[in-house]
């Protein structure tokens, strides 16, 4: 397989047609090597338009979703980022390539350990990886400029929204299969946010995601 030709085809045939037109983001996909973060058993599928299994019932996002989210977040060199759901570590690497400081949390120790090895191998020194449950909140007194939930959640926890600094952006996929929406929430002032629905999609839920209250008869 011609790796670079496959990467080029991924960008031109999958990602660009999905309204990812920011050249800086497209260039980033050539710099951060996706195939190095894909599980070895699926390395040949690194550039295919499909979710890839990671184990523990979790999957790696499609390339076009990864790229679109990076574009929508409009990352800045001063951003402090919280990623909820490290998974393969590839999205973590994309975030770290653009931001100042990335904190990534996963409930599976195996994912945290594997991502640590891969990110170190690629020279990322601005990432702190944590094993824990951040599906509903991640205590931090400093706040974040960017928060990304890599699994869906039926309800978006207010506690996570409150972690945003003014000007901060939060990406989440909300709802229940088969109807889910990708949303970008921006903190416009202390205690005030603006929400935009970006597109419809469907991704696996976060473990322990916030659920609607059950009806009691």
The answer to whether position 210 is within a domain reads no
Residue 155 lies in a domain: yes
Share of the chain above pLDDT 90, in %: 96
Residue 207 lies in a domain: no
Q: What is the spatial distance between Cα 128 and Cα 168, in angstroms, rounded to a whole number?
A: 19
Q: Tens digit of pLDDT for each residue in 167-210?
A: 999 999 999 999 899 999 999 999 999 999 999 999 999 999 99
Nearest Cα to Cα of residue 85 among 59, 64, 63, 65: 59
pLDDT of residue 62: 98
Neighbours of 120 (CB within 10 A): 11
> What is the span of the domain harbouring residue 163?
3-201
Averaged over 37-64, what is the pLDDT?
A: 96
Please give the backbone phi and psi of residue 94, each rounded to the nearest 5 degrees, phi first.
-60, -45
Distance (Å, whole) CA 134 – CA 152: 13
Number of domains in the chain: 1
What CATH number does residue 39 fall under? 3.40.50.150
Instruction: Quote the crossing angle between the two packed helices 23-31 and 90-98, to the nearest 10°.
Output: 120
Decide: helix, strand or coil at residue 188. Answer: strand
Tens digits of residue pLDDT in 122-149: 999 999 999 999 999 999 989 999 999 9
Q: Supply the mean pLDDT for the chain.
A: 96
Within-domain flag for 111: yes
29 falls within a domain: yes
């Amino acid at each position: 397989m011609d790796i670079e030709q496959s990467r080029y085809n991924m960008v031109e045939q999958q990602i660009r047609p999905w309204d990812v037109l920011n050249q800086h983001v497209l260039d980033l996909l050539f710099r951060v090597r996706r195939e190095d973060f894909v599980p070895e058993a699926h390395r040949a599928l690194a550039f295919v338009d499909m979710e890839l299994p990671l184990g523990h019932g979790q999957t790696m996002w499609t390339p076009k979703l990864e790229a679109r989210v990076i574009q929508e977040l409009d990352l800045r060199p001063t951003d402090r980022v919280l990623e909820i759901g490290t998974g393969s570590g590839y999205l973590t690497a994309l975030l770290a390539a653009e931001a100042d400081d990335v904190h990534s949390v996963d409930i599976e120790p195996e994912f945290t350990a594997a991502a640590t090895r891969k990110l170190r191998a690629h020279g990322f020194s601005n990432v702190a990886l944590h094993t824990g449950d951040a599906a509903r909140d991640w205590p931090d007194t400093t706040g974040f400029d960017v928060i990304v939930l890599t699994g869906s959640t039926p309800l978006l926890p207010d506690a996570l929204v409150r972690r945003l600094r003014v000007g901060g952006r939060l990406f989440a996929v909300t709802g229940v299969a088969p109807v889910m929406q990708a949303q970008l929430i921006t903190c416009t002032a202390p205690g005030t946010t603006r929400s935009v629905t970006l597109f419809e999609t469907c991704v696996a839920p976060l473990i322990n995601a916030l659920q609607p209250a059950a009806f009691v008869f």
